[in-house]
Structure 1
Amino acid sequence: MKFIDEATITVKAGDGGNGCVSFRREKYIPFGGPDGGDGGDGGSVWLVGDEGLNTLADFRYQRRFDAQRGENGMGRQRTGASGEDLEIAVPVGTQVRDAETGEILGDVTQEGQRLLVAQGGFHGLGNTRYKSSTNQAPRQSKPGTPGELRKLSLELMVLADVGLLGLPNAGKSTLLARASAARPKIADYPFTTLIPQLGVVRIGVNQSFVIADIPGLIEGAAEGAGLGTRFLKHLARTRLLLHVVDVAPPDPEADPLADLHTAVTELEHHSDQLASLPRWIVLNKKELLDPEDLEALVERVRADQGDVHPVFVISAATGDGMDALLQAVMRHIEETAQSKAEAARRGLAADPEDASW
C-alpha cells in the first residue's frame, strides 16, 4: 500500500435535538399543563488510535464524517434520544491540527487513545422547563445548539526511538536491514528509499527499540530540493539521531566531512527541535578505506564535532562494529527513559498538593 502521511478531512458533530412545546391532554384533565420534553444531545466526533493502520490512505476516499443528530423532544415529557458518537480510526502517531487556524488539537500516540475533535451540540429544552407559578402554560422552548464543524489536517508522524539521518547512498537502508528484520530497497543509486521505513532492533530479552529510515537529504533540501525534508518530521519524536556518513563517497573529490556539514545544515534549517536532538555520528563503509586513512578521518570528525556527538565506525555491509553501536543505542534509550521517570517522580513529590503525606 502506498505510504500516505498527510490528509485533510471535515468532521461535523451532531446537532442537539430541539425542545418540544406540548400540553397534556387527557379526559377529565382539562388543564393538564405543559409536558414537552427536552431534545437529545448531538453525537461527538472522536479520533481513535489503531495500531493496525500504518497509513492515512483511507482518507483519500472519504473526507467528510458526520456524527448523529440528537432527536427532538416529544410530548408526555419524553426526552429525545442522544445521537451516537462517531469514532474514526487513525494510525498511532497521527498529529491533528485545525486546518483553518493551524492550532494543534492533539496527538494520537497510543492504541485505543481517543481524541475529541468535534463536540456534539447541547440538547434543547422543552416547555416543561419554563413552567412556574406565574407562567403555568409556557409556549416557549429552546432549540438544540449546532454541533462543531471542523476541517482537520492529519499528519502521520512515525513513532520510532532512533532515526537514521544522512545523504543519499550513505548506507542507511543497509544499516536498517543489518540491524533488524526490515527489508528496505537497497541499490547503488541515490534515493532508493522513497518512503519512511521502520524496523525493530532486538538486543536481548525484553530489550528492543524501533529504528526509522527516511529518504536521504541533499543540499538545498530546506528550499524543497529532493525528498528528505518532506519526511524529516517523522524524526521529531525520536530519542536519538544516527547520522550516517559515507567514508568513501563515489565522487573522489567529495569530502565526508563536507557531506556531514551539508546534512546538519539542512537539519538546522528545517527545525530547531530536530537540531537539538541527541545526534551520534556513524561513519559507514569502513571496509572501503585503508586503516590509516580511516583513522585520520575519524580524528578530523571528532575534532570538528567535539565531545557532544559521539563517533562510531562501522560497516553496515559486513556487520563490523554494528554490535557495539546497537548496544550503545540500547543503553542510551534505557538511561533516557530512566532519567525521565526519575524527573517525573521528583516533580510529583515537589507538587504542593502532594506534600500532605
Structure 2
Amino acid sequence: MTNVLGLTDDPTLIAALRRVAAAADRELCEAAAPPARRAWADAAVVVVDHAAALACAAELPRRSGVVLVCPGTADLREWQAAAVVGAEHVLGLPDGEVELLAVIGATAEPEESGGTVLAVVGGCGGAGASTFAAALAWSAGRQDAGRDVLLVDADPYGCGLDVLTGLEERPGVRWSGLTVEGGRISARALRDAVPTWTQGIGVLSADRETRAQLDAGAAMAVVDAVQRSGTTVIADVGRAFGPVADALVSLAELTVVVVPARVGAALSSARIADRLVERGVAAGLVVRGPAPGGLTPADVAEVTGLPVLASMRPEPGLAEALERGGLRLRTRSPLLGAATDVLAPVGAARPRPRWIA
C-alpha cells in the first residue's frame, strides 16, 4: 500500500511534502491530479493542493485521510476546496509541517496490537531502580522473543542506561539525536536506530552532556509511537518527578517502586507512593534485600500503602558485573526472578499485584 500520495505541482509544497515524508519514514508517491482510482483508494494519506482538490472531487469518490495544503496561510478558497473534496485538515506550509507530520504519523503508522508501558522509580536514592528497569527489559525480551522491547532512559540524574547495559561505546541514536517537534516519530525507524542490548532489546539513553535537557513532549511522542506499534516499553524515570517523569508515568500501565528493605528507605518510598496515589497511578513495590533490621515486604507495604509485586534477595556479583562491561543476568538470577514476577500479570485488563509476606 502506498503510504502517502502527493497531488501537487507546486515546487514549495512538493519540497515540504518530501521533508515530512522522510521525517515520518513514509513512502511518498507524487502524481498528477486526478490520479488513478486504485492509487486514490490505496493511499493511507492523500495530500492535495487547491487545484488537485477540485480535480479529484470532480472525478473520484470521497474518501477519508485527505489533507489540503497550501503555501503560507490558507484563505477562503482553500477552505472551500477542502469542503468540496472532503479534506479533514487544511494546513499552510512550511509552518504546518509539524502538524502534517503528526497527521501522517498517526494515520500511516502500521497498527499492531498495542504494547505495554511500565515505569520504574526508586523509592529512595540508590534503590537500584535503573538496574531493575534493565532486568524487566531482559525478562520481557526473554519471555517473548517475537515482541520488540525498548528500554528508555528518562532519569536526568542517572548514570545512563547505556553505561549500565555496557553500550556506552556502541553507535546508535541517543535522546540528543532525536527531533520530535511536537509530532510523531516512526517506531520502526527508532527501533532500527537505537543501540541493541541482549536479545534484541533496544536502549534509548541520554548523552552525558545533555541529560538534564530531556523534553516531556518528545518523551511522550516516542513512548506513544513505540507502544502503539506493539513494543514493550520499560521507562526508568528516576525520583525527580519532573515533567518527563510525570508524562511517562501517565502513559504506564504499571509503575514499579523499587525499595530496599530498610526503615529509612520505606519511609522515603511512602512519599513517592503518595505522589503516585494522588495521580491515580497503578503502582506496586519491589522490595530488595538484604533486610539488616528484619524488615519484611509486608512491613514495607504497610508503610507505603502499596501492594508488593515481588521481593528479592541480593544479586551476587552485581556491583562487579556493572563495573565490568554492563549488566548480564543468569537464569537463576534473583533480579530476573523478581522481574518475571512483576511482568506475569501485566497485559491483563488491570494489574493484579500479589502480596508477599
Say yes or no: TM over 0.5: no
The bucket for the TM-score relative to the shorter chain is 0.3 to 0.5
Larger relative strand fraction? 1
Give TM-score, length-normalised by structure 2: 0.40
Higher-helix-fraction structure: 2
